[in-house]
């Protein structure tokens, strides 16, 4: 089921980033983010401090990558690795994009640090968590970035609502998705009504979610994932449960999804 009635909230975090903002204004941001995460696990983000030019550049680099020859793109298939490579090495086909993509990754890492700071302040008081409770996740952290491209559905197919990505939840701590203005397809699952809520693209701005393709246009997006410090032992913030190594959790989720050799992937690559 799809619904238009439960709109995904838009949260402006500029007051939290402003050193001159009042305590009340900063707390309003914390409350808005906490509520959005509690209800949806998802929200549109504005006032984040990253310029429109920088966001546009990231999307253009994405398009440039998918315009490369097929053999160059296949050098970075997820089925060839579990998300890591030798430090300083990138396949030859994407060297042209390396500088811009690294800059995008640095900007997103700075943003996710602010998001974690907001989330830390919104945790239940009875958990007695420090405002720096998430800082250890950012030490030697795993920060994969995915370039995504979904082709339009061929006109000969009867059902135009094909899945670009079926419903799923992400593995790590925080996911940030940059969508190209003018596109649609991203939907978030809303448990209270057992329905899917479309996420419109708002310029300047992990729940269960999915992506629908369409007949009209290509869909490009850039996804940034904070997996955290893979060597960190973590457990529930309310002190329940047992400790789990972050890297073991991510590795297990990847193996469950793609298999040891990537054979569980339904499609090897978006071209």
Q: How many CB atoms lie within 10 A of CB 235?
A: 11
Helix, strand or coil, per DSSP, at residue 268 = coil
Among 100-109, 117-126, 131-140, 215-224, the minimum mean pLDDT is found in: 215-224
Residue 208 scores a pLDDT above 70: no
Tokens of 10: 């838009």
| Residue 83 falls inside a structural domain | yes
227 within domain boundaries: yes
pLDDT at 69 over 80: yes
The pLDDT of residue 84 is 45
- CATH number of the domain encompassing residue 229: 2.60.120.330
DSSP line for 143-185: --EEEEEEPPPPTT-S----EEEEEE--SSSEEEEEE-TT---
In a domain, 269, yes or no: no
Residue 188 lies in a domain: yes
Residue 265: predicted pLDDT: 46
- Would you state the pLDDT for residue 260? 52
What the block records as the tokens of 91 is 């396949």
Range of the domain at 192: 10-258
Q: Is residue 54 part of a domain?
A: yes
Residue 230: pLDDT band by 50, 70, 90 thresholds? very high
Flag whether 159 is in a domain.
yes
Q: Could you give the number of structural domains in the chain?
A: 1
Percentage of the chain lying above the pLDDT 90 cut: 27
Residue 247 placed within a domain? yes
Could you tell me if residue 1 is inside a domain?
A: no
Enter the pTM of the model: 0.78
Encode pLDDT of 22-48 as tens digits: 999 999 999 999 999 998 888 989 999
Q: Where residue 214 falls among pLDDT bands split at 50, 70, 90? A: low
**CB distance 179 to 221 below 8 Å:** yes
């Amino acid at each position: 089921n799809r619904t238009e009635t439960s709109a995904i909230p838009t949260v402006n975090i500029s007051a939290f980033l402003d050193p001159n903002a009042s305590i009340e204004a900063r707390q309003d941001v914390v409350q808005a983010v906490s509520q959005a995460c509690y209800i949806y696990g998802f929200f549109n983000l504005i006032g984040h401090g990253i310029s429109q030019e920088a966001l546009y550049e990231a999307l253009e680099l994405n398009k440039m990558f998918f315009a490369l020859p097929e053999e160059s793109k296949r050098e970075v298939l997820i089925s060839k690795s579990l998300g890591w490579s030798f430090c300083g090495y990138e396949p030859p086909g994407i060297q042209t994009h390396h500088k811009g993509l690294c800059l995008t990754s640095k900007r997103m890492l700075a943003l996710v640090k602010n998001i974690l700071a907001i989330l830390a302040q919104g945790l239940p008081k009875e958990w007695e968590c420090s405002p720096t409770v998430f800082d250890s996740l950012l030490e030697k952290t795993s920060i994969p970035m995915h370039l995504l491209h979904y082709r339009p559905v061929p006109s000969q197919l009867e059902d135009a609502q094909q899945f670009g990505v079926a419903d799923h939840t992400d593995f790590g701590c925080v996911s940030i998705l940059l969508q190209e203005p003018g596109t649609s397809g991203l939907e978030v699952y809303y448990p209270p009504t057992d329905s899917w809520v479309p996420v419109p693209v708002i310029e300047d701005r992990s729940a269960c979610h999915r992506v629908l393709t369409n007949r009209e246009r290509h869909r490009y997006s850039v996804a940034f994932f904070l997996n955290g410090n893979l060597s960190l032992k973590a457990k529930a913030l309310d002190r329940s449960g047992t400790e789990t190594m972050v890297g073991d959790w991510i590795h297990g989720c990847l193996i469950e999804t793609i298999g040891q050799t990537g054979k569980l992937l339904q499609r090897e690559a978006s071209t």
